[in-house]
Amino acid sequence: MRSGRSRQSKWMLFPRLLGRMILLVLFFCCGFLLYNLAQGQFWPFEGQGVMPYSVDKAKDGRDSAGGSGEEKEGGGDEEAWQLILVNKWNPMPEDYQVELTELSNGQSVDSRIYPSLQKMFDDARSQGIYPTVASGYRTARKQKELMDEKIGAYEAEGCTRAEATRKAKKWVAVPGTSEHQLGLGVDINADGVHSKGKEVYDWLERNGYRYGFIHRYPEDKTEVTGISNEPWHYRYVGEKAAKEIRRRGVCLEEYLEEDGDSAGEKK
């Protein structure tokens, strides 16, 4: 009889042990969840599952709280990188280097513009507009591939190689002359679910300058920029320059030329 009671007592202890194990597992799960929330790993409207192909927390831990990316007073060198001019007449410096921050969809941008880009996207989403970065930093090799693809598409339409190349250059920059290689130019489109392209373009046109971004290739500046109108292409120049460019109604080339002339007059 004693052995029977002993076995019965052991079976009665089993539910208690199981309950304690479940509580222990729940305790660790709650701790893990709280830790990741504190680290910013679960961010509303971001991440591949909720908002694919959008600006996300950087993999190195940077976020919009880290700063605005705006130049500090007296930071002449910092302002210089924001206003570097790269176009068909001004290739990027051969020794140019860029530190990149990778976004959730695999695209990358210059780490210095990431906080401003993140803030712009967060504010757009709060207003019901859902932009995504379709293309950020590009290597020279990637830029060449895009150029070759564009030339091939025109050739398929019946254009000669020369004609196809000439037309392609209106839409795709020659490697070494693209702002994408700086990490400062981004192609921004709609997510295709919550917003449409025109909604995003209109919002950027009205608000991009507030975050230091300009519509780089406006329709009425094609002769100056050398690139056809691209409502999706935005370039970071810093808030100060972006506001002036918008106020004057000029493009980056004109802004730099006017400022250069003004500097010469002051001497």
Contact 196, 174 (CB under 8 A): no
Please say if 230 is a catalytic residue.
yes
Q: Are 198 and 140 in contact (CB under 8 A)?
A: no
* DSSP of 106-141: S-EEETTTHHHHHHHHHHHHHTT--EEEEE----HH
Q: Between 197-207 and 114-126, two packed helices, what is the crossing angle to 10 degrees?
A: 120
Residue 239 half-sphere exposure toward CB, CA atoms < 13 A: 14
* Cβ proximity of 242 and 70 under 8 Å: no
Nearest residue to 231 (alpha-carbon basis) of 187, 177, 182: 187
Give the three-state DSSP class for 23: helix
Give the three-state DSSP class for 28: helix
Q: How far apart are CA 85 and CA 186, in angstroms?
A: 15
255: closest CA among 226, 216, 228? 216
Annotated catalytic residue: which of 230, 244, 253, 254? 230
Rounded-to-integer distance, Cα 135 and Cα 117, Å: 13
The set of catalytic residues is 230
